Amino acid sequence: MVQNSINFIENHSTAAELHVQTETIDYREPPPPYSVFPNNDSSIVSQPTIHQTIIVQTPLQDKPTFYNCNNCRERVLTKVEKVNTRKTHMLAGFICGLTCWCMLCCLGALPYAIPALKKSKHYCPNCNNFLGDYVKI
């Protein structure tokens, strides 16, 4: 079997001729050398340096934090205002609905007394610009 395949390859390799064309490529002369100072002018013009200050803001929390105000360009300790959200109202209604059967509906006011269940809105104390808000839940 191996001998037959070798004979087959030898017979067909002689039958098929490879035509290879060769070309001669004329190379041009290399370009002139690069000169650092054209026309022997040794004056160097320096570019102005630009210094940028990148300020990375600390994330807001539920308590006052130091923050850079975009309006007055001051670094300030933020003024925090706690605000009830829809989640606070929904939680109060849910608690009131659960405790209605045992006459403890007053427990529905509990979410309004817990500061962690409210949204913290941060303001600049200098210009009263809104800086952002923080929601814990």
Could you tell me which residue, 55 or 62, shows the higher pLDDT? 62
Does residue 68 have a pLDDT over 50? yes
pLDDT at residue 2 in the model:
45
pLDDT at residue 120 in the model:
94
**Residue 58 contacts by C-beta under 8 Å, 6 or more apart in sequence?**
65, 66, 67
Structure token digits, residue 5: 């395949």
3-state SS of 29-61 is CCCCCCCCCHHHCCCCCCCCCCCCCCCCCCCCC
Q: Report the alpha-carbon distance of residue 119 to residue 121 in Å, rounded.
A: 6
pLDDT at residue 103 in the model:
75
pLDDT at residue 130 in the model:
94
pLDDT at residue 29 in the model:
81
Answer whether 0.85 is exceeded by the pTM. no
Structure token digits, residue 70: 């975009």
Give per-residue pLDDT as tens, 77-114: 999 999 999 999 999 888 888 887 777 777 888 889 99
Residue boundaries of the structural domains of the chain = 55-135
pLDDT at residue 47 in the model:
75
Does residue 11 have a pLDDT over 70? no
